[in-house]
Amino acid sequence: MGPFLSFARLLLRSPAQLALALLFATISAAGLGAGLLSLEPVLDLIIGDGGAGLAEMARQYNAKVPWIGIPDALVERLPDGRFDSVLVVLGGLAVLTVIGATANFLHQYLALSLCTRVVARVRLDAFRHAIRLPLGDIVRRGPAEFTSRIIRDSAELHAGLVALTSRTAAQLTKGAAAFLAAIFFDWRVVVVAAITGPLLAIILRKSGKRIRRGTRGALRQQEVLLRVASESLQGLKAIKTSTAEGAMLGRFKAANREVVVEELRARTARSLAGPLVESIGILVVIALAALAVREIIRGSMTFDQFVLSLGSLAVAAGSIRPLTGLVADMQGASAPAQRLREILELPTEELRDRSRPRLARHRHWIRVEDVSFTYPGGTSKALDGVSLELRHGEHVAIVGPNGCGKSTLLATLVRLVVPDSGRVLMDGADIHTMQLPSLRQQIGFVTQESIIVRGTVAANISLGVPGATRAAIVEAARRAHAEGFIMALAGGLDAEVSEQGASLSGGQRQRLAIARALLRDPSILLLDEATSQIDSESELQIAQAIAEFGRERTVIAVAHRLSTMLAADRIVVMDKGRVVDTGMHEELLSRCDVYGRLVRGQMLTTPA
């Protein structure tokens, strides 16, 4: 349970709230213990032979135990009659009940609040860590795995923390209070009952191992289930048009079946722990009854002592019995805690490495020197000794067949991938030795699949630029030729956009993405098939906007249309991870076979 306990220690960051929660749990338990201890004088008052009231009983007690006696002023106020004394004791029990219930409420309220805040902090830390991981880690494992761990596993962790701080603390304190009351009545009965403790610990330990294994497997399969569901719903248009509903349903059924199998692995341990504890408890009561009968016959134990001691033990057992389920909850939370810990221990990008120098705004040139890169698990190099120099203010188009490394080259410029060898220099500085934010803050990057979040149009344009003014957002939309369709929406810039931009056309989504990039006022503009979903008329308008905006900025575009190539100052041709030629359209058409095939075959339609 090490990972679970490591998160449980976060509770100590709010010591005052935790201490108050435990204090109120103790007060509630103390009320229970006082109520049990009051049963003895109640029985004496009801069935005793002496006929003494509370006042006389207090005087007798003071005579026996003078060092912790009852104050005389209080003794004088106690009633002498048996009926009045019973009413006073019962009234006291009622007051204790109210105090105990209030303390229990405050304990639960504080403990649940503390657990909720701790899990929210863990969830936030896990998400913050995940979005700072290298892109390759997310792609390799899949977004569904991280989503499942951040959302589902944190919920499982919350259940374990609640079991620890709320229910376990309450049950343990109540059990301890009842146990102490049983010792007060007759310690011999308690000694026999305590022998069962090690046996119960063994049962809980064995069942806990099986529960952890089952929970870990179930969480893995739930990742698969989430992945299938996400893929199906996000690609629902393609699934429907391909009549693939049956195939996706089959995949979901298979994943769902595996979840059931893994969740049922722990059912035996969860189901067996409770009955075993109950059976042991009954056997202990039988043994205690045999002991009590012998002692009562010998005259060394009174019947009412046995009943009160056994009753207190029963209350203690009743309080401790739920611990089997609570320990199972905590054991079950150990697996998701481990999975969350694995995320938090993954190395992130050096976003906050202040020991590195900041990269100055790009003003001169970018040089790619002998860069090679192979994707994990890949059999061939995505980039193979690429060398290229780009001048500041130059508009360069990169073309080549599918899989030739165009998008990978752009990814190296923005440090989404780290080359296996070679380096990328910007104005003489190696970008991999500089602070990463200082590089990315001066780059506008527009991909073929733009990210659109649920919110207003203005919020989508200003994503990543929180201090953007309304005027700057309007200007960015105008430059991206998005102002026309935005103003046609109900609400304009304040119009709500559906999840993933489902309420917009592909071209409209791209214009918002381009407006977002322009709003950053970047020194470098990277366009990775950015106009692939835009009609020719819109593409011409955006090309004009980029040409105007690109003055005094470096523009690098992965091109798929002839118009994009013709608008560039220079065209770079790639093939099989290498740069095979550079030049203008007419030059390349006459001397570069790769470029000629691309133009003649109209193959420039999809990203690398």
Mean pLDDT of 253-278: 71
Find the mean pLDDT for residues 135-156: 82
SS3 392: coil
Tell me what the mean pLDDT of segment 466-493 comes to. Answer: 88
Q: Above 80 in pLDDT, residue 23?
A: yes
Residue 373: per-residue pLDDT: 94
Sign of the dihedral through C-alpha 200, 205, 207, 211: positive
Residue 49 has pLDDT above 60, yes or no: no
Q: Where are the domains of the chain?
A: 2-345, 365-442+522-533+551-608, 449-521
pLDDT at 159: 84
Residue 368 in contact with residue 541, Cβ under 8 Å? no
- In this prediction, residue 397 has a pLDDT band, given cuts at 50, 70 and 90, of very high
pLDDT at 208 over 90: no
Q: Which of 459, 446, 447, 465 is nearest to 486 (CA)?
A: 459
Rounded to two decimals, the pTM is 0.72
Tell me which of 564 and 395 has the higher pLDDT: 395
Say which CATH architecture domain 449-521 belongs to. Answer: 3-Layer(aba) Sandwich (3.40)
Q: What is the pLDDT of residues 555-580, one digit of tens each?
A: 999 887 777 788 888 999 999 999 99
Residue 607 has pLDDT above 50, yes or no: no
Q: Can you tell me the mean pLDDT for 410-439?
A: 91
Q: How far apart are CA 461 and CA 348, in angstroms?
A: 27
- Whole-number pLDDT of residue 421: 94
Which percentage of the chain shows pLDDT scores above 70? 72
Q: Which 3 state secondary structure label does DSSP give 399? A: strand
Fold of 365-442+522-533+551-608: Rossmann fold (3.40.50)
Q: Which comes out higher in pLDDT, residue 237 or 391?
A: 391
* Contact yes or no for 486/547 (Cβ under 8 A): no
CA 518 to mean position of chain CA atoms:
33
The reported pLDDT for the residue numbered 352 is 60
- pLDDT attached to residue 604: 42
Rg of the chain over Cα atoms, rounded to whole angstroms, equals: 37
The secondary element (H helix, E strand) that includes residue 47 is helix 39-47
pLDDT in the model for residue 246? 80
Residues 244-264 have a mean pLDDT of 80
Same fold, 365-442+522-533+551-608 and 449-521: yes
Q: What is the pLDDT of residue 424?
A: 95
Superfamily of domain 2-345: ABC transporter type 1, transmembrane domain (1.20.1560.10)
Judged against a pLDDT cut of 50, whether residue 606 lies above it is answered with no
H-run or E-run covering 554: strand 554-558
Amino acid at 95: V
